[in-house]
Amino acid sequence: MPYKGAGKGYADVATHYRQQIQNGELAPGDTLPSVADIRSEFGVAAKTVSRALGLLKSEGLIASRGALGTVVTTSPTVITGADRVDRIARNGLRYAPGETSASHRVMHRSLDDPRICEALNLEPGDEVVIRIRTFRQDGQARTVGVSVYPPQTTAVVPELTGEGRMERYWADLYTERTDREVVKGQRTARARQASQQELDALEVDAPEHVSVAVLVTTQTFHDENGPLGYWEDVYAPDTQMPVPD
């Protein structure tokens, strides 16, 4: 079935290849199909294909390489932890090309952050499990992922309390064991001053007296009975991330 929509066929074509690049299905150096092949697949005109490719080039996702054709460049964007979960559900890829994670840590702490207390419906001093990891892209630290889980979640998914990387997505385990769906809340973003620990994890070398601003996205997970988890992604300065239309 043609992808062409009234008046915006180029956007459909661009969205298709943008998602393939962000999902890791097209890696840096991979060649896009020829203009003729794209025209045939999407049922659009050559001008539409040209506009779509021009849009992707302006976003830094692809580049013309002469006889090699149009190739995928090293992506300038990173995605949130929740987006990684969506990517795994779509194509099974935990990491996109060039993406890795390191410094996985698990801590048992008394919660004192009022923002997280409110999100998880907890009182200051309540015990939680905090999982921290640094995501790297092409060898460079780009984001620090922090996830916080209350006792009602770790009681069902004790794997969250163990060291190292989770082999399966915690919400899938939770649903299997309780028959209750885990729902993602609204993702929000804000800018704030980075802590020294965050700067160290992101390998940002800044004098102690200098404030460094970072972008932070947050998302809360819940089931029919209440909150189950809180995720926070802290982005290194000058990192780009896609935002919903």
Question: pLDDT tens-digit profile of 117-132?
Answer: 999 999 999 999 999 9
203 with 226, same domain? yes
Buried b (16+ CB within 10 A) or exposed e, 176-188: eeeeeebeebebe
42 with 143, same domain? no
68 with 87, same domain? no
- Token output for 11: 């956007």
Last residue of a domain, one of 18, 51, 72: 72
Q: In which band, very low, low, confident or very high, does the pLDDT at 202 lie, cut at 50, 70 and 90?
A: very high
45 with 149, same domain? no
Least trusted range by pLDDT, from 19-23, 104-108, 157-161: 19-23
40 with 134, same domain? no
The proportion of the chain whose per-residue pLDDT surpasses 90, expressed as a percent, equals 62
Q: Give the count of alpha carbons within 13 A of 85, CB side only.
A: 16
Residue among 109, 69, 242, 92 at smallest CA distance from 172: 92
* 128 in a structural domain: yes
Q: How far apart are CA 199 and CA 101, in angstroms?
A: 16
Structure confidence at residue 76 (pLDDT): 60
Average of pLDDT values for 76-95?
79
50 with 116, same domain? no
Q: How far apart are CA 175 and CA 219, in angstroms?
A: 18
Give the chain's domain count: 2
* CATH number of the domain within which 92 lies: 3.40.1410.10
Q: Where does 51-98 show beta strands of DSSP type E?
A: 62-64, 70-72
107 with 193, same domain? yes
* 244 in a structural domain: no
* 241 in a structural domain: no
131 with 223, same domain? yes
Domain that holds residue 124: 81-235
- Token output for 54: 């021009």
* 55 in a structural domain: yes
Last residue of a domain, one of 51, 72, 93: 72
- Token output for 46: 């050559």
Taking the CA atoms of 235, 78, 117 and 192 in sequence, report the sign of the dihedral they define. positive
Distance of CA 42 to the CA centre of its chain: 28
**Is the pLDDT confidence value at 244 over 70?**
no
65 with 86, same domain? no
Q: In which band, very low, low, confident or very high, does the pLDDT at 73 lie, cut at 50, 70 and 90?
A: confident
**Is the pLDDT confidence value at 90 over 70?**
yes
25 with 112, same domain? no
* CATH number of the domain within which 34 lies: 1.10.10.10
33 with 134, same domain? no
Instruction: Using DSSP, state whether 128 is helix, strand or coil.
Output: strand
- Triad 103, 20, 171: Cα angle to 5°: 50
